[in-house]
Structure 1
């Protein structure tokens, strides 16, 4: 009985994670600005991967697999924000941002308006 409930929960988490990852991929392709694409590439994709990993962990349940899954999740959480920061920084430095959509710019060196 417990195995059946865990398997159903794993299936739900796998589908939810796949849908979030799909939404992230569509967002990267469809969003107009670098900042919007950066958001789509990090936020829903990270949650989608974590949901997928949780679903896989519920399905596999062996200690060695759970340790590896935990490491993958930890590395995902550690690298996605850094990647987003570097993408945003590169876009800012190469002036590929739509300045009309930026509400405040703390990097321009001028006093606030």
Structure 2
């Protein structure tokens, strides 16, 4: 067993554990905002660790393709979470009294927009 095998295995196991913890958080967190955090941050970290662990075993052209997959995931996951969070907020799925800071509510109030509740 070489050092690259050990490094690759550690990265892949770490990525799998991060994805598992994100899935457990997704099932156990009480509200939409917390679930969005569990759905994006640990899942993205887990995927990137798995991709790096796989790239250690592959040649440069394949590792470059995996880097593009990781970049795409890193760019799209926050955007999707932002859109899902705004949708949940505007439909009343997020309780405003549980928010510590409500920047979206303040912005909507300044603009004179009403929420669909």
- Per the normalisation by structure 2, the TM-score is 0.86
* Alignment-derived partner of residue 46 in structure 1: 44
* Alignment-derived partner of residue 95 in structure 1: 92
The question of 1:71 aligning with 2:68 is answered yes
* Alignment-derived partner of residue 115 in structure 2: none
The question of 1:85 aligning with 2:113 is answered no
CA apart distance, 1:98: 2.1
Unaligned 5+ runs, structure 1: none
The question of 1:107 aligning with 2:73 is answered no
Tell me the matched-pair count: 107
* Alignment-derived partner of residue 33 in structure 2: 35
8 Å CA contact 2:36–2:85 kept in 1: the answer is yes
1:51 and 1:18 map into 2 onto residues whose CA distance is 8
* Alignment-derived partner of residue 5 in structure 1: 3
Q: CA RMSD in A?
A: 1.3
Higher RCO, Cα 8 Å, sep 6+: 1
CA apart distance, 1:20: 0.2
Q: Which runs of 4+ in 1 moved over 3 A?
A: none
- Per the normalisation by structure 1, the TM-score is 0.89
CA apart distance, 1:16: 0.3
SS in 2 for 1:107: helix
